[in-house]
Amino acid sequence: MSGERRAFPDRQVWPPVAREDSGGASTQPFPAVRSAPLPRSAPPPGPLEIPGTARGDLPASPAPAGRPARTALRVTAAVLALAVAVAVPTWDGYMTYKDARPDDRVHTFAAGRTATFQHVSWKVAVEESDGLPGDRPLEPDRRWLRIRLTRTALDPEGVIRRGIPDVEVRHPDGRSWMAQITEDDVPLTAAEHRVGTPYHYDVLSLVPRALAREVSVCVRPSSFRTIENESFEDSMKRTARESELNDNVLCFRR
């Protein structure tokens, strides 16, 4: 083996140049790898044209300076539309409300009288007061009404109809004042509730002093019937079938 190194040309061709064989050196040429040609770039798109319309006939783009003004106008219009929609109910909405809450059927009773309605008797007693224990003094033109509402079940159906009534104070001119039940001794279960036994609600209302003797105490008995050992689901189904309106009001004059 000869110690002399041979020089090879510094170039790559295909097919390779034949080389003289030497006992101590062997090379294998690598084929050249051709890279894929790049895709041709697409020409830039031209302006969009509407068929049948010349380019000069297209409307000019609005000036950017006008956008804030238009946005403010749209917001104002939306606010006004919402205000009108809220302030003026539609006739359909009004009729739906009237169907769900019909006009009250008012039954008026003289002072001290007992009213009988749906298997229950009701009676009202009223005392006027200038103040309540532990409460701050009233304004001179105000007056407390301390109301004692008595209910008596006349039969087992009256025991079932032991739901809490709504109470308010009304004046003949149409004004009304809220009345709040503060305490009661009505049994929670039918087993404890006795037919013919009077039970009581203590009620408070604050009214103008000048009208204290002119108002009536109005009681709306609950139409809900509480049946022992009835599931909530069965109670809802029964209530839907009965569909009894809660529109009867018993008004007791002073």
Query: At residue 221, does pLDDT exceed 60?
Result: yes
Query: At residue 77, does pLDDT exceed 90?
Result: no
Q: Which two tokens stand for residue 142?
A: 């105000």
pLDDT of residue 73: 60
Q: How far is CA 118 from the centre of its chain?
A: 34
Angstrom distance (rounded) from CA 58 to CA 12: 62
Q: What is Dmax (Cα atoms) for the chain?
A: 142
* CA dihedral angle for residue 51, residue 55, residue 56, residue 62, rounded to 10 degrees: 100
pLDDT of residue 207: 97
Query: At residue 169, does pLDDT exceed 90?
Result: yes
CB 102 within 8 A of CB 96: no
Q: Is CATH 3.40.50.970 the classification given to domain 105-227+246-252?
A: no
Q: Are strands 176-184 and 166-170 parallel, antiparallel or unpaired?
A: antiparallel
Ranges 40-44, 51-55, 110-114, 185-189: which has the least confidence: 51-55
pLDDT of residue 74: 56
CB 106 within 8 A of CB 174: no
Query: At residue 103, does pLDDT exceed 80?
Result: yes
Confidence category of residue 134, pLDDT binned at 50, 70, 90? confident
Q: Is the pTM of this model over 0.85?
A: no
Query: At residue 131, does pLDDT exceed 60?
Result: yes
- Please state, in angstroms and as integers, the Cα–Cα distance from residue 8 to each residue in 5, 27, 65, following that order: 10, 10, 75
Angstrom distance (rounded) from CA 97 to CA 10: 99
- Please state, in angstroms and as integers, the Cα–Cα distance from residue 232 to each residue in 87, 104, 225, 244, following that order: 38, 28, 12, 18
Residues sharing a CB contact under 8 Å with residue 137, sequence separation 6 or more, in sequence order? 130, 131
Angstrom distance (rounded) from CA 199 to CA 163: 13
pLDDT, average across residues 119-140: 92
Confidence category of residue 82, pLDDT binned at 50, 70, 90? very low
Helix residue spans in 88-209 (DSSP H) = 91-100, 156-160
pLDDT, average across residues 239-252: 82
pLDDT, average across residues 8-36: 55
pLDDT of residue 32: 54
Confidence category of residue 187, pLDDT binned at 50, 70, 90? very high
pLDDT, average across residues 209-221: 97
If you average pLDDT over every residue of the chain, what do you get?
Answer: 76
Residue 167, classified by CB atoms within 10 Å of its CB into exposed (0-12), middle (13-18) or buried (19+), is buried
More confident residue, 188 or 216: 216
Confidence category of residue 132, pLDDT binned at 50, 70, 90? confident
Query: At residue 202, does pLDDT exceed 80?
Result: yes
Query: At residue 230, does pLDDT exceed 50?
Result: yes
Q: Which residues pair with residue 1 across a beta bridge?
A: none
Q: Are strands 198-208 and 176-184 parallel, antiparallel or unpaired?
A: antiparallel
pLDDT, average across residues 220-246: 75
